[in-house]
Structure 1
């Protein structure tokens, strides 16, 4: 791609039209959009949101303007917008912004294991992250963190940026304690905290989105155990676990059918 991208990273470039992928830009053990892009027999260019600026601004509209502005600056049409899990609430807003552009054809929107992001999701991820380190916590720290975060959400549900900042601070305190007890280096401690802060920032943005579209209707694709937040009649369900949804051959075939036609 001739235009240098800063808020997107290229997964593959096999054609002129763009496919925009919205998912947490950190690493994950499960299959991701890179697997999907590699497996699809379509001549398209796949882009994925990047780390840059993810937690420098908590306003979703500011990020949407930057993401879409950079994409439109390439001069290439957007064929589709894809989202996974919390990223589905961002994908719809990106698609809305693309559709609102003068002369643009509304892109196809595919949402994988779609999930709206209520405020409780931030607290749930905090508890899960702390629990993952439970073996290294001091006695009572895990239960204290659970109770504290429950009270934080109850009193701050209407101010999610404050909730997210408080969760990051508490996580910092807990991980710093673990680092001291295990004599971990500053680099490792900082990586843990920065990764958690970035994920909180990502969820904070997703909490401002939704699963509706101003123009058109999304296509929902769900893994075996996922409970779709919409009428099941609107969902394509696959007998595959969540971790393999974006790496499944049947899913690739269904997505290729949509993207190859250019429209759902």
Structure 2
């Protein structure tokens, strides 16, 4: 089979090996660790593939289970067995759903390991949009930051606004301001357009996750929990209105959310789970 196009091969172990899948939205320069940093500590004897998020516009594109189809189709076309599905933050939603669908196809359920899993809601999208803006302080003016932050606050305050509508509204506000700021910073039109489109794809990724139910997949999951109060199960357990999330096992580590995937002790614990030694861990 040719190299996958909607998965990034983090670790290649030959065409006949099993695959471990990882769901995340990695971007250059983010301060959170990624699966490329976790991979060496897993000591896998199989391939590790990471999601490549499809290019989507939350203002115009339909977002639902069809979002998953390119990922599922390429895994099915490989003919390889999925040994485990991993997920980080909002990617844990995709991990839970992908694991369920893959189990139906291949007849055996892959292991599921999720890192600070998030049920995506309006506050989640709001937080992540704030991080996007925070990463652009070198190109956005204080006035532009204030305008985008104010728009986000106004949208979030609308009674009953759905995450998909919230994400679309955020991107509609960001697109012209972000484009102008990047062009002002000296980027050519094409590259500025790519970066702005990336933000739209990230908003689409979050909005899609908000509409999926990962709980059946999470019931079999090992959850890796950080010490960050506003991340993962820590946040869900203290947020009114969120029903308890049932998981198979939980391992807690005294590290910040951003450091989960770059912490050796976490890699050791996950390696033990993937090797069938669930008693090993933190």
> What TM-score results when the alignment is normalised by the length of structure 1?
0.84
Tell me the secondary structure at the aligned position of residue 93 of structure 1.
Answer: helix
* Structure 1 equivalent of residue 172 of structure 2: 169
Q: Residues 109-258 of structure 1: matches in 2 within 5 Å?
A: 109-133=112-136, 137=140, 140-155=143-158, 157-179=160-182, 182=185, 184-213=187-216, 216-226=219-229, 228=233, 229=236, 230=245, 234-258=249-273
* Structure 2 equivalent of residue 260 of structure 1: 275
What do residues 134-156 of structure 1 show as CA deviations (whole Å, max 9, x unaligned)? Answer: 57655654444333323323448
Listed as ranges, the gaps of 5+ residues in structure 1 are none
* Structure 2 equivalent of residue 46 of structure 1: 48
* Structure 1 equivalent of residue 108 of structure 2: 105
Q: Residues 81-100 of structure 1: matches in 2 within 5 Å?
A: 81-100=85-104
CA distance in 1, matches of 2:93, 2:9: 21
| Structure 1, 84-93 or 193-202: larger mean CA deviation | 193-202
The 1:255/1:174 distance shift into structure 2, 3 A limit, reads: same
* Structure 1 equivalent of residue 241 of structure 2: none
Tell me the secondary structure at the aligned position of residue 117 of structure 2.
Answer: coil
**8 A Cα contact 2:90 2:209, kept in partner:** yes
CA distance in 2, matches of 1:215, 1:105: 16
CA distance in 1, matches of 2:67, 2:87: 16
Q: How many angstroms does 1:199 deviate by? A: 1.1
**8 A Cα contact 1:108 1:262, kept in partner:** no
> What TM-score results when the alignment is normalised by the length of structure 2?
0.79
The 1:5/1:180 distance shift into structure 2, 3 A limit, reads: closer
Tell me the secondary structure at the aligned position of residue 219 of structure 1.
Answer: strand
The 1:174/1:259 distance shift into structure 2, 3 A limit, reads: same
Over 6 Å off, 4+ runs: none
What do residues 35-85 of structure 1 show as CA deviations (whole Å, max 9, x unaligned)? Answer: 222222221111111144455954331122331222122111111000000
**8 A Cα contact 1:60 1:205, kept in partner:** yes
**8 A Cα contact 1:58 1:204, kept in partner:** no
CA distance in 1, matches of 2:116, 2:142: 36
| Structure 1, 61-70 or 129-138: larger mean CA deviation | 129-138
CA RMSD of aligned residues (A): 3.0
* Match status 1:13 vs 2:12: yes
Listed as ranges, the gaps of 5+ residues in structure 2 are 237-244
